[in-house]
Structure 1
Amino acid sequence: MLRVDGLHAHYGRAHILHGVSLDVAQGEVVCLLGRNGAGKSTTMKAIMGVVPPSAGQVLLDGKDLAGRASFEIARAGIGYVPEDRRIFAELTVEENLEVGRRAAPAGSQGWNPERAYTLFPVLAEMRRRPGGRMSGGEQQMLTIARTLMGNPRLLLLDEPSEGLAPVVVERMAEAILALKREGLSILLSEQNLAFANAVADRACLIETGQLRHTASMAALMADDEVRARYLSV
């Protein structure tokens, strides 16, 4: 479904991504793993057009989206959950969800608030609560649910487990696996190896803006040398 080929990105004169290439198949969960500052978030932002790529392709079902505006990429079928969540603090849970709502493609099951509440039951209990009065874990659930309201075919999750309590991380993993069972393709970035192992089919290891190693999660977990080289602190 998604193919990223030779992606480069800059912040001003700083060259951050150096020819990143990866792919995500239909219904697959792929995890971009690396240390802090390795280029994970920049890769997500470059795919979504938040950081315009300076070179390379971002192909969704064969259509190149590189260089398009973020709203055009969203309309093409990619949903983006940023690391900093960016909920609307003054709006209620229900209002945040409505802000993200887009019509579903013809013939497909669309997302609505009740379906989002089924995925994250805690949101149903606080549907009239302002986003600014929610915990970090609740806000993370809300921003994922709001993104799903746009009916994406591919979901980008940037550090979904960061800063969350273990019980919330467990719920987040359950939600990702539920979305995978429904056939949604997911690319997530993570530093939490245990979380990645719980949800991902494959891992792409990134270091200093370059993709260094790709393997199944099972193969990565069995390879102590590769994990020590690219993931240990």
Structure 2
Amino acid sequence: MLSVSNLNTYYGRAHILADLSLEVRRGEVVVLLGRNGAGKSTTMKSVIGLVPAQSGTITFDGTRIERLSPHRIAQLGLGYVPEERRIFTELTVMENLEVGRQKPRDGVPTWTPERLFRLFPNLGEMRERPGGRMSGGEQQMLTIARTLMGNPRLILLDEPSEGLAPVIVEQMARTILQLKAEGLTVLLSEQNLHFAQMVADRAYIIEKGRIRYQGTMAELAADPAVHEQYLSV
């Protein structure tokens, strides 16, 4: 469903992503692992079009997207949940959800506020609360819910467990598994290996803008040398 091939991305003269390639198949949950500053968020921003690729190709559901604007990529059914969350703090939960609304798409779930409140019961209890008066975990749920209102085929989750309390991390893991069960394809970036092991089918490890490892989660779990080399703090 998503194929990134030989992607090179720069910030000014700084070469951030170097010949990066990865694939996400329909119905998978794939995690991009790496230390802080390895290039995970830049990969996500390059896929969604916020950071333009200098070279390489990005293909989503059969369409080349590396030269498209972010809003056009979103219209094709690629959702993006940024690490910074970026909810509208002055708008209520319901108003934030309406901002993300797009038309239904064939072959993927159609999300409504009521359906999202079953997925995120906490949000259903604060429909008229402004986003700025919510906890970090609640804001993360709202950001995901707002993205789902676009009825995406694939969703990019940038560091979804970052800064969350352990009980909220567990809830986030259950949410991602429920999204997979609903037929959604997921690419997430993470530093938290335990969280990744709860939700992902396959993993890529990025270091200094290059993919250094790829394999199933079972293969990664069986290779402590890889953990030590690329993931230990």
Query: TM (normalized to structure 2)?
Result: 0.98
1:158 is matched with which residue? 158
Q: In 2, Cα distance between the equivalents of 1:96 and 1:36?
A: 29
State the AA in 2 paired with 1:144. Answer: I
Is 2:108–2:153's contact at 8 Å kept on the other side of the alignment? no
Partner of 2:93 in structure 1? 93
Which residue does 2:173 correspond to in 1?
173
Aligned counterpart, 1:189? 189
Aligned-pair CA distance for 1:63: 1.3
Q: Give the letter aligned to residue 60 of structure 2.
A: L
Which segments of 5 or more consecutive residues in structure 1 lack a partner in the other structure? none
Moved more, 59-68 or 39-48: 59-68
Distance 1:50 1:104 in 2: 24
Provide closer, same or farther for how the CA distance between residues 25 and 130 of structure 1 changes in structure 2, counting only shifts above 3 A.
Answer: same
CA distance in 1, matches of 2:115, 2:102: 14
Match of 1:127, SS state, is coil
2:147 corresponding residue in structure 1: 147
Please identify runs of 4+ aligned residues in structure 1 that moved more than 4 A: none
TM-score (norm 1): 0.98
For the residues of structure 2 that align with 1:216 and 1:64, how far apart are their CA atoms? Answer: 27
Post-superposition offset of 1:62 = 2.1
The Cα shift of 1:211 comes to: 0.4
- Range with bigger deviation, 201-210 or 53-62: 53-62
RMSD: 0.9
Alignment of 1:111-130 (within 5 A): 111-130=111-130
Count of aligned positions: 233
What secondary structure, in the 3-state scheme, does the structure 2 residue paired with 1:187 have? strand
Q: Which residue of 1 aligns with 2:66?
A: 66
Question: Which residue identity lines up with residue 67 of structure 1 in the other structure?
Answer: R
* 2:56 match: secondary structure: strand
1:26-37 to structure 2, matched below 5 A, reads 26-37=26-37
SS at match of 2:53: coil
Q: Deviations over 1:46-71 (max 9, x none)?
A: 00000001111110122110021000
- Matched with 2:110 is 110
Structure 2 CA distance for aligned equivalents of residues 107 and 178 of structure 1: 16
**1:108 shift after superposition:** 5.1
What secondary structure, in the 3-state scheme, does the structure 1 residue paired with 2:68 have?
coil
